[in-house]
């Protein structure tokens, strides 16, 4: 079984899309370990605020099977690809880590470079797995978060009612 970490983000119908995505992942993979959900301003464009979080789960599926599955979940939530890179989205589901695998191929970047690039990815990951080591940098997520600059303005939110 591989331990997988996935980032989830949305700024369109945020609560509904986040809850529905979690349900789809739970249906497919079973128990999820979830970070806090954070709200943050849009990065790279003017738009509505995002909700972002990280989830972890165990799977027997090969790393190459996951991205098409995540793209299908996005499509099921109205995500349309091919637009601007930085834009509003109903759902963004990205593979961050697959055990300690390091793999750089067309269409698959593991560990995902966004872990160390964006606070909305690194902060929830460090919250849920502070001692987890980045497979390339050999630094804990807590240490990477501690050294991260600039820390974008983020605040925790609840998905409850």
For residue 161, the model assigns a pLDDT of 66
- Residue pair 18/53 in contact by the 8 Å Cβ criterion: yes
What average pLDDT is seen over the chain? 92
List the one residue out of 88, 16, 95, 93 whose CA is nearest residue 50.
Answer: 88
Domain ranges of the chain: 2-157
CB-based contacts of 131-137 (< 8 A; 24+ apart in sequence): 132/5, 132/97, 133/100, 135/97, 135/100, 135/101, 135/102, 135/111, 136/102, 136/111
Residue 87 pLDDT: 61
pLDDT of res. 4: 98
Report whether 47 contacts 11 (CB < 8 A).
yes
The answer to whether the Cα torsion of 43, 54, 115, 65 is positive or negative is negative
Residue 146 structure tokens: 């501690």
What are 9-52's pLDDT values in tens digits?
Answer: 999 999 999 999 999 999 999 999 999 999 999 887 788 999 99
Percent of the chain with pLDDT over 70: 94
Q: What percent of the chain clears pLDDT 90, i.e. is strictly above it? A: 79
Q: Is the pLDDT of residue 75 over 80?
A: yes
Residue 58's CB is within 10 A of a number of other CB atoms, namely 13
Domain range 2-157, CATH class: alpha beta
**Where do the DSSP E strands lie in the chain?**
2-10, 33-34, 37-40, 50-59, 92-98, 103-105, 108-110, 154-157
Question: Tokens 């249906």, residue?
Answer: 27
């Amino acid at each position: 079984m591989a331990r997988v970490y996935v980032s989830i983000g949305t700024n369109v119908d945020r609560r509904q899309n986040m809850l529905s995505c979690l349900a789809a992942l739970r249906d497919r993979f079973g128990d999820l370990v979830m970070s806090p959900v954070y709200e943050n301003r849009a990065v790279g464009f003017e738009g509505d605020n995002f909700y972002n979080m990280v989830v972890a789960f165990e799977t027997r599926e090969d790393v190459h099977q996951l991205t098409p599955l995540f793209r299908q979940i996005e499509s099921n939530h109205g995500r349309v690809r091919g637009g601007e890179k930085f834009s509003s989205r109903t759902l963004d589901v990205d593979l961050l880590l697959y055990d300690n695998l390091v793999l750089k191929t067309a269409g698959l970047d593991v560990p995902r470079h966004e872990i160390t690039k964006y606070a909305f990815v690194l902060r929830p990951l460090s919250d849920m797995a502070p001692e987890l080591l980045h497979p390339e940098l050999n630094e804990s997520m807590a240490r990477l978060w501690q050294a991260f600059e600039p820390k974008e303005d983020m605040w925790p939110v609840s998905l409850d009612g």
